Amino acid sequence: MDSAGPNGERRSRSSMVTIRRNSMAGRAFTLIELLVVVAVIAVLMAILMPALSRAREQGKRAVCLSNVKQFGLAWVMYADDNDQKIVNACTVENTEGHNDQEEPCWLYFHDDWTDTERRIKGIQDGAMWPYVGQLKIYKCPTGIRGEVNTYAIVDAMNGAMGSTAIGAPKELYVRRRTQIRRPGERIVFVDEGKTSTQSWTIFYNQASWWDSPPTRHGEGTNFSFADGHAEYWKWQDPRTAKLARREGDYGSLIA
């Protein structure tokens, strides 16, 4: 069937369909153009993904740093409320080689770690809970899946004093905050990545590690100090970073 054009000319339906198809074909992408678009998108993704990954890690590091800072301040407040006595750095009591101090554990390690409720109870029974009061602060965002605490107190802060295995001189161990010289330089909390049955310990009499150096964020981890401030430290010796990656490679266990 024919139809009239705007100037009165006659056009067949078939010719109109042909014109419409030609118009659509002129607007369509060719295969080469589509491949170019896909290639550009792939290049942009390759550029952006590492940047997005770094941004996510920096966000997790910032949350973790905030956590250890809150622990550091809670640790100071506990000492202020208890005649400058500092909390027990261990997570178990009356273990052989420990100092048998009177101060309560900052949290309690229970043998049955398959029971999440018992793990949470161990945290809530600890001396830090009244000062922290939020379960989420006990775990770094990059912690082991299923773990409820990723932080530890260093051994010298009222930890396994009396243990001769690590060769630490007694004067390095403190029970009161007033004993600490240069508190801004003395580490208290470390993001170890899991709950330790004791405290974070290093050898003092040999060039090796007792507890592995943590690399929780990049090539380093977050620490809090005896004056309450917190910092991110990056290991400078590549051998230390390599050891830390090997010993602390949680892989698929990351939450």
Tell me the residue range of the domain where 87 lies.
Answer: 59-253
Above 80 in pLDDT, residue 68? Answer: yes
pLDDT digits (tens, 9 = 90+) for 30-49: 878 788 888 888 888 777 77
* DSSP characters over 213-248: PP--BTTEEEEEETTS-EEEEE--SHHHHHHHHHHT
Above 50 in pLDDT, residue 96? Answer: no
**Residues 38, 125 within the same domain:** no
Is 71 part of a structural domain of the chain? yes
What's the pLDDT band for 205 if we cut at 50, 70, 90?
low
SS3 at position 147: coil
Mean pLDDT check: name the lowest of 31-40, 120-129, 149-158, 168-177.
Answer: 168-177
Is 52 part of a structural domain of the chain? no
Is 53 part of a structural domain of the chain? no
CB 71 within 8 A of CB 157: no
Q: Which helix (H) or strand (E) holds 12?
A: strand 10-12
- Short-list 248, 190, 194, 253, CA closest to 224: 190
Is 54 part of a structural domain of the chain? no
Model pLDDT, residue 97: 45
Above 60 in pLDDT, residue 57? Answer: yes
**Residues 184, 240 within the same domain:** yes
pLDDT digits (tens, 9 = 90+) for 207-229: 666 666 677 777 788 999 999 99
Above 70 in pLDDT, residue 70? Answer: yes
Burial 175-213 (b: 16+ CB within 10 A, else e): bebeebeeeeebbbbbbbbbbbebbbbeeeeeeeeebbb
Model pLDDT, residue 168: 57
**Residues 24, 109 within the same domain:** no
Is 50 part of a structural domain of the chain? no
**Residues 124, 243 within the same domain:** yes
**Residues 92, 204 within the same domain:** yes
Q: What's the domain count of the chain?
A: 2
Is 195 part of a structural domain of the chain? yes
Is the pTM value of this prediction over 0.85? Answer: no
Residues 6+ apart with CB under 8 A from 2: 10, 11, 12, 13
Mean pLDDT, range 133-148, rounded to an integer: 84
